[in-house]
Amino acid sequence: MIVLGIIFLILYSFFILTVLSKVYDGKPVYLLLYIVLFLPVYSVFQLVLYDAFQNSILINLVKYSKDFVLISSFVLYLTGTRQSLLNRKFKFSFLDKLILGFLSLVFLYLFIPLGEATFFSKAIYAKNIYLIGIVYFFGRNTDLSFENWNKILKILIGLIIFSFTIALSESIIETHLHSFLGYSKYNLEINDIDPQGNYGLNWSFESQGAQPRYASLFADPLEFSASLILFFVISLWYFMHSKFRNNKFFYFTIISIVVFSFFLATSRASMFSAVLVLILALYISKNYKALLIGGSLIFSFFCYLYFFSEEETRYLIQDTLSFQNTSSLGHLVEWIEGILSIYENPFGVGLAMSGNASGVDQSIKIGGENQFLIYGVQMGVISVILYLLILIKSIWNSLDLYIKSSNSNIKSIGFIAGLTKFGLLIPLFTANAELYLFVALFSWYLVGQVEKLYNSYEINNKIKIENN
């Protein structure tokens, strides 16, 4: 295992140096490659290194290397171009202003003396939020060639197949990959969290009745299921817009793989999101006949599950809808706790006082299983409003770009960005979903790209109208 750890470290070091040098040379796609190739295995990579070296300092270096790559890539790209920053023309859009307003609010709450969290904890939490802004503005200020974009999509298709293969293997041998990699020991010694659940990992690795939930290469089944929403949207894009029968069969197979992966991860929120994504995708692409047929099939399938399936499945549906299921009840308790806190403290109780992110002391946290309420507990009602407006505007602009653009590559960026953000809305209501680094940062990069393309589209249209 030590030899494997050394090989991993050498490869990772070389990868980081390559990414930074290429970004400095004006090739921003390499940061996207870092997000796509490394962040899905970010947690498993740490497990392997800790199992090999038993060194917490090394693990912290890996954690902060991610921040270093993202932040320095942004700074290097902005300062490394020939044109001076002061001479660049940049028109702030409404979405830009919303995001800057939200980041400014985070900066304010970092320094005001509010809450029981230490300044160090607040700084770590603020850094995690600022990564979202950095990735968004990186996408907003960079040109992603369509050739590179299509390469990224092919890599993601490969990631879909590979992650499914791992999850299926876990299911066949009925053992979590994380059990082999010493997840419990890592969690205990690095995060000071005792093993939980029937599998000695944590409760997210099992569903009702102690049925296993698999995480594949990702940190846990919840992150895997959130990433599956992105995978589902990508496979939908290719299937719906492919003109060749052989390609359609291949991408239908990819869709089937993703759907089966949802059952391996067993996340009801993500499954429901996938259904909503499919309905919206058919609607915006004007496939009304398919929408009617698909809606009827989904409704028939739900009725079959509810009335004719095994009793255990029926009880699961009933308990979920009535919040009697252990997981659903846990969400409800956390939501009530968060809502009461916002009601009593409409301006928040301080940064790093809610949620499950690094920097949050679990002994003093308030609520934590709803991204909107997490921000609201910490920074008050205004933060919830800003965050909600950011999401709505991101989805609207992305789908509007898809509908109005005639360029296939531009349409694909709008389609994938908009439907992924739409699909993640349900997980945001049930988890601290912005912590899922891969899908969160990748989708925010795409939103930045959409905003760049959307503004360019609006400006060009305005010029045409004025000339006419």
Helices 29-37 and 56-80: crossing angle, nearest 10°? Answer: 160
Q: How far is CA 261 from CA 21, 193, 221, in A?
A: 36, 28, 10
Q: Which of 457, 415, 421 is nearest to 440 (CA)?
A: 421
Contact 234, 157 (CB under 8 A): yes
Token readout for 228 is 């599956």
Cα 103 from chain centre:
19
pLDDT (mean) for 434-458: 91
Q: How far is CA 177 from CA 46, 47, 205, 331, 452, in A?
A: 14, 11, 11, 27, 40
Angle at 324 between CA 318 and CA 329, to 5 degrees: 130
Q: Which of 243-257, 262-276, 388-402, 440-454 has the lowest mean pLDDT?
A: 243-257
Q: How far is CA 403 from CA 32, 286, 410, in A?
A: 25, 10, 10
pLDDT value for 412? 95
Q: Which of 386, 424, 455 is nearest to 133 (CA)?
A: 386
pLDDT (mean) for 120-143: 92
- Residue 313 vs residue 195, higher pLDDT: 195
pLDDT value for 458? 61
449 CB-near residues (< 8 Å, 6+ apart) = 139, 140, 142, 144, 413, 417
pLDDT (mean) for 357-375: 82
| Phi (first) and psi of residue 206, to 5 degrees | -145, 155
The confidence band for 107, taking pLDDT boundaries of 50, 70 and 90, is very high
Say how far apart CA 29 and CA 142 lie, in whole Å. Answer: 9
pLDDT value for 383? 96
- Residue 146 vs residue 468, higher pLDDT: 146
Does the pLDDT at position 83 exceed 80? no
Q: Which of 35, 25, 34, 41 is nearest to 444 (CA)?
A: 35
pLDDT value for 152? 95
Token readout for 33 is 């490659």
Does the pLDDT at position 361 exceed 80? no
SS3 (DSSP) at 201: strand
Say how far apart CA 267 and CA 95 lie, in whole Å. Answer: 31
The confidence band for 431, taking pLDDT boundaries of 50, 70 and 90, is confident
**Contacts by 283-291 with C-beta closer than 8 Å and gap 24+?**
284/399, 284/402, 284/403, 284/415, 285/240, 287/240
Contact 250, 451 (CB under 8 A): no
Average model confidence (pLDDT) across the chain: 86
434 CB-near residues (< 8 Å, 6+ apart) = 128, 129, 132, 371, 428, 440
**Phi-psi label, residue 90: left if phi above 0, alpha if psi -120 to 50, beta otherwise:** beta
pLDDT value for 468? 39
SS3 (DSSP) at 316: helix
pLDDT value for 425? 94
The one-letter amino acid code at 307 reads: F
pLDDT (mean) for 218-232: 95
Say how far apart CA 224 and CA 266 lie, in whole Å. Answer: 10
Say how far apart CA 362 and CA 151 lie, in whole Å. Answer: 41
The confidence band for 467, taking pLDDT boundaries of 50, 70 and 90, is very low
Say how far apart CA 421 and CA 239 lie, in whole Å. Answer: 20
Does the pLDDT at position 463 exceed 50? no
DSSP calls for 352-413: TSSSSSTT--TTT----S-HHHHHHHHH-HHHHHHHHHHHHHHHHHHHHHHHH---HHHHHH
Contact 349, 122 (CB under 8 A): no
Does the pLDDT at position 465 exceed 50? no
Does the pLDDT at position 312 exceed 90? no
pLDDT (mean) for 152-170: 96
**Phi-psi label, residue 112: left if phi above 0, alpha if psi -120 to 50, beta otherwise:** beta
Q: If you average pLDDT over each of 194-208, 262-276, 451-465, which comes out highest?
A: 262-276
Every domain of the chain and the residues it spans: 1-89, 101-142+323-468, 156-286
pLDDT (mean) for 192-209: 84
pLDDT (mean) for 289-293: 78
The confidence band for 208, taking pLDDT boundaries of 50, 70 and 90, is confident
pLDDT (mean) for 266-287: 90
Q: How far is CA 399 from CA 285, 405, 418, 420, in A?
A: 10, 10, 5, 11
The confidence band for 402, taking pLDDT boundaries of 50, 70 and 90, is very high
The confidence band for 175, taking pLDDT boundaries of 50, 70 and 90, is very high
Q: Which of 3-17, 38-52, 262-276, 315-329 has the lowest mean pLDDT?
A: 315-329
pLDDT (mean) for 301-325: 59
Does the pLDDT at position 84 exceed 60? no
Contact 126, 351 (CB under 8 A): yes
Does the pLDDT at position 384 exceed 90? yes
395 CB-near residues (< 8 Å, 6+ apart) = 418, 421, 422
The confidence band for 461, taking pLDDT boundaries of 50, 70 and 90, is low
**Phi-psi label, residue 348: left if phi above 0, alpha if psi -120 to 50, beta otherwise:** left
Does the pLDDT at position 32 exceed 80? yes
Token readout for 334 is 């956390």
